[in-house]
Structure 1
């Protein structure tokens, strides 16, 4: 290795770039020099020449003055400071709550949960961002005064109703939550509700948002409805959006101006900027990077270009915001202790509003992805933008704080997709070089998450699947974040699925997710057949995978005592019973499994090869409450987890003859 390459590696390591990583099978992958240069550039450091590398290494000399402090609420806080300085501490409201003079250290008063600015004048004047976090995020005991519960997860877009016209909406969300709440469920989880973008008509994946802090207008329930859901099993998004948007335009003309005006008094500048982005996109297209240069950032010019049309898009956010609130109220009124369980996607699209609004914190020239793993044998490129650690810290994590605050205000549980991104992110350079891992500021990100969760009274689940480094789960659990245990992935070194009593107690446990086959699909190997259909497996590979699945089925039969002659309905019941009896604090059953669906909602790594995000549930929502399937899952869960205090025999869903 040359001295130049060694200096490049030293610089990359100093800036948090992994020099190598081990894959799912234990094979070591070294990060090549071209990838190191691309990732350094994404972090804001040019390293194309030896001179640039030398200059960047020299600039690595640390400033002796801290720029960030993390402390626990109520604990003494001592900030080391070179020399003598005067200081003042300002809270989020702009009030000075402490001041003094420090010699070598600054002793701050004991503080409550929140964010503070420490202003320093002296030898090294500046500001220090102080994050005071709770010891733990809220948990079931503190939030709901229970030790264990169950809930369901499903695809909002796939709900059938008498009025939604083809795509599940926020009114349907409240109705289904109330139905499951009366059956004893304590939460209802759905796909991310992030805004996809008015002008980006091709995007249907809820995990490819334009902005994660704004809401999807496709799910707005319009006045008078759009008629019943079509019979077709797959959603026609283009046809639905044409009808739905025409109805929204008509409703805007007769809007409740007073209620909208009251809401506007409380909405953030970021929400207004999002509305301006949406208005401009109607003229210049979904990708702001192709807009006239003067419009490629928020500001007066963009505001003028958006014009009066921005009010329409602001009004859409008002409708989505208030309808989600109504759904949460319906969920809690039914007896749910937690209500809605929302999902935070990994990142936004590079062409969307979140990047446009937060350009100063976005890593350029890279997108987020994942190396090959059990979800996708080819690896994944998610085509999502990443916030760069350094710029995000200098912005005092404002994009993350505002996003979490907005989402947590709407739900009782928030799931952070790919929580490993709190520790490290896999970035793929746009220039085609292999990907590599970037260190993330775990302690600071956990501080922001726990502060926001504390203030909102919201539980947090970290989806910690994949290549999990030692100590990560413990750090997450210590901060009060629940792990995410997918039973079909909990296996020994032989690939045999472990008993349910080995599932982590401090977790949300489920058998499958939107990214895995349904329980019935798992049993029959439909995912393996799809992998061959899209060209990932040869005939021989397919046979080997089915052989491995047979071993998994055999291990489930063993640990769950499933009779050899059991039919799929009985097998599903027994597996759900095992989940219910597990030590996991929260247990989730997929709505697709409750109502007997076979095909999965998503096949990771595909876009059009599989009908991702298009499948509808077979049973309409107005038939759920009286269905034998709901009665049965309620009994299975309640028998093992205990009936909630809000449920008794008089409000138990009744089975009716077919």
Structure 2
């Protein structure tokens, strides 16, 4: 290794870039110099020349009293704390409303009183130096489900909002349908109804349908807005025709806006909307005439501000109205769910990141990492690895902004629901970035403790329960620290196996977790049992005939293990298998249990096949029954009865 490469690796390690990591099969992957340079550049650290490296390494040693102090401290609420000082100074603690929460002068320590949860800035001032320290004051633990449900263990249902059928949605499930189906399931005893993300996808991006490829995660998808008078019944087709639906739906939205744009309720909402909401609406308006990618817009609008406001013009009011409608309808769905007996109500999902051409990136250019996107190395969900084509917030820049972009997104979602799932929560500790220049991907260290603090602060403020989806290559200590903060783990039973590949006894699943058999990215019970996912892997070319046979053989072994786990004879019919799996989940050790609508209704195909776009009908499949019949459907009633006797009865 050359001296320059050694310096590059030292600089990378100092800035949290992994110089090596272990793959799923245990192989040690060494990061290439090209990868290290690309990831350092994305973090805002020059690393192209030997001079860059020397200067970068020299900058790591900060002389003086200020350099000896941390940039951030995380404290527990209502717990006094002493911060050691390198020299005497005056200090003032400023809260998030710019008010002085405490102040004084310290000789060798700053003695902070017990503080309410929230975000503070500690300013230290001496004659020849000054330092600002971020202070995050978090609760001991985030809220638990028992506080909302009154139950030691609870159960709920998950399903695809877009796939709901009704007599008025015209082809795509909407927020009115969401309230209806949640209420129906609530009357069966379910404590929550979970859906895929409902983030804004972008008005001008007419081809985007994946809920995990949002424009902005803090605003809502207008495709799901229920229009006045409805759009007629859902077509009989099994798959959604998004272009046809959007043409019809958007025409109806325009007509309704023309009638309602002057109503007092909407105008009052606009007057109270913050600057980010106004700017989001301007982004949407500009995108209609100048395209979906702001990097191609006129120079005056490439950043939020007066130029963007001028270019957006009066059309921005339409996009404000869309958000007004979406927020109103989602809150109404939550109210409907709670009124029907759901202790938690809606269970929403936070996607990993926004698209690089989306509104979230445009609004937060100061915190976005440049020249990289987020992905994942090969794992059990995708053998080829995944490029998610999503932008990442750079850790240091996000921290310097007091985590405000994340805080706003969390508040928007948590104030709407009772349960929030954080997709790919492993990214809270380390994130896999793929350089745009084609260099191999690598891991970036994230400020895990601080991100957990932000999540728990926002969860405490809203009373929201949080699930961290922790599938994949799990770093040592990740789950323990997440659960210590009060977040729930995510136990997908078909992945919970022993050394021989057999599924574990459900009684051994983590107590502080949400347990389910599968997710939108995995085979359904029927798909798993019949090997439908294996056939899809063969169809898209990921495996050949020999591996297909080997996987079917392994699956037969897994089926035998499942039969043993749920005490079923080899001759048992599939209906008995499905009932046995749900019964085992109902009595699992996990304190929260979720069953999928797809499994209750015996659907075979998964909602999504990770790593594909058009090769599999991702995000297009409709449920086989209407929401009007869900509450009375025999299979749903039978599953609900099982769950009530197990998880919901304790």
Calculate the TM-score normalised by the size of structure 2. Answer: 0.98
Which sections of structure 2, spanning at least 5 residues, go unmatched?
none
CA contact (8 A) 1:65 1:124 kept: no
**Residue 199 of structure 2 is aligned to residue 194 of structure 1:** yes
Matched residue, 1:535: 541
Matched residue, 1:35: 35
- Secondary structure in 2 aligned to 1:428? strand
Matched residue, 1:170: 175
Q: Which moved more, 1:634-643 or 1:169-178?
A: 634-643
Q: Which residue of 99, 104, 117 corresponds with 1:100?
A: 104
Name the CA distance, whole Å, in 2 between partners of 1:410 and 1:81. Answer: 42
Q: What's the offset of the Cα at 1:567?
A: 1.5
Q: What's the offset of the Cα at 1:94?
A: 2.5
**Residue 291 of structure 2 is aligned to residue 285 of structure 1:** yes
What are the within-5 Å matches in structure 2 for residues 276-355 of structure 1?
276-355=282-361
Q: What's the offset of the Cα at 1:82?
A: 2.8
- Secondary structure in 2 aligned to 1:55? helix
Q: What's the offset of the Cα at 1:354?
A: 0.2
- Secondary structure in 2 aligned to 1:240? helix
**Residue 389 of structure 2 is aligned to residue 389 of structure 1:** no
Q: What's the offset of the Cα at 1:262?
A: 2.0
Q: What's the offset of the Cα at 1:643?
A: 4.1
**Residue 614 of structure 2 is aligned to residue 608 of structure 1:** yes
Name the CA distance, whole Å, in 1 between partners of 2:133 and 2:273. Answer: 28
Q: Which residue of 360, 366, 377 corresponds with 1:360?
A: 366
What are the within-5 Å matches in structure 2 for residues 195-214 of structure 1?
195-214=200-219
Q: Which residue of 75, 84, 103 corresponds with 1:71?
A: 75
Matched residue, 2:25: 25
Name the CA distance, whole Å, in 2 between partners of 1:57 and 1:104. Answer: 30
Deviations 1:112-144 (A, max 9, x none): 111112233223224222110001000022333
Name the CA distance, whole Å, in 2 between partners of 1:412 and 1:562. Answer: 36
Deviations 1:539-566 (A, max 9, x none): 1111111111111111101111122111
What are the within-5 Å matches in structure 2 for residues 7-22 of structure 1?
7-22=7-22
Alignment CA distance shift 1:195-1:642 (3 Å)? closer
Deviations 1:218-243 (A, max 9, x none): 00000000000000000000000000
Q: What's the offset of the Cα at 1:93?
A: 2.4
CA contact (8 A) 2:149 2:191 kept: no
- Secondary structure in 1 aligned to 2:178? helix
Matched residue, 2:226: 221
Name the CA distance, whole Å, in 2 between partners of 1:541 and 1:630. Answer: 36
Deviations 1:470-509 (A, max 9, x none): 1110000000000000000000122111111111110000
Matched residue, 1:517: 523
CA contact (8 A) 1:184 1:643 kept: no
CA contact (8 A) 1:66 1:81 kept: no
Q: Which residue of 635, 639, 648 corresponds with 2:645?
A: 639
Q: CA RMSD in A?
A: 1.0
Name the CA distance, whole Å, in 1 between partners of 2:511 and 2:271. Answer: 44
CA contact (8 A) 2:123 2:132 kept: yes
Q: What's the offset of the Cα at 1:331?
A: 0.4
Matched residue, 2:135: 130
Matched residue, 1:617: 623
- Secondary structure in 2 aligned to 1:265? helix
**Residue 447 of structure 2 is aligned to residue 463 of structure 1:** no
Matched residue, 1:440: 446
CA contact (8 A) 1:365 1:430 kept: yes
Matched residue, 1:651: none
Matched residue, 1:648: none
**Residue 122 of structure 2 is aligned to residue 118 of structure 1:** yes
- Secondary structure in 2 aligned to 1:308? helix
Q: What's the offset of the Cα at 1:90?
A: 1.9
- Secondary structure in 2 aligned to 1:579? helix
Deviations 1:319-344 (A, max 9, x none): 00010000000000000000000000
Matched residue, 1:275: 281
Matched residue, 1:161: 166
**Residue 512 of structure 2 is aligned to residue 506 of structure 1:** yes
Matched residue, 1:83: 87
CA contact (8 A) 2:138 2:453 kept: yes
Q: What's the offset of the Cα at 1:293?
A: 2.3
- Secondary structure in 2 aligned to 1:175? helix
CA contact (8 A) 1:66 1:80 kept: no
Q: What's the offset of the Cα at 1:642?
A: 4.0
CA contact (8 A) 2:512 2:591 kept: yes
Name the CA distance, whole Å, in 1 between partners of 2:602 and 2:228. Answer: 32
May I ask how many residue pairs the two structures share in their alignment? 644
Calculate the TM-score normalised by the size of structure 1. Answer: 0.97
Name the CA distance, whole Å, in 2 between partners of 1:182 and 1:452. Answer: 29
Alignment CA distance shift 1:362-1:643 (3 Å)? same
Matched residue, 1:492: 498
Matched residue, 1:44: 44
Q: Which moved more, 1:496-505 or 1:446-455?
A: 496-505
Q: What's the offset of the Cα at 1:109?
A: 1.6
Matched residue, 1:652: none
Q: What's the offset of the Cα at 1:182?
A: 0.1
Q: Which moved more, 1:393-402 or 1:144-153?
A: 144-153
CA contact (8 A) 2:151 2:648 kept: no
Matched residue, 2:484: 478
- Secondary structure in 2 aligned to 1:414? strand
User: Where does structure 1 differ by over 6 angstroms across 4 or more consecutive aligned residues?
Assistant: none
**Residue 208 of structure 2 is aligned to residue 182 of structure 1:** no
Q: What's the offset of the Cα at 1:17?
A: 0.6
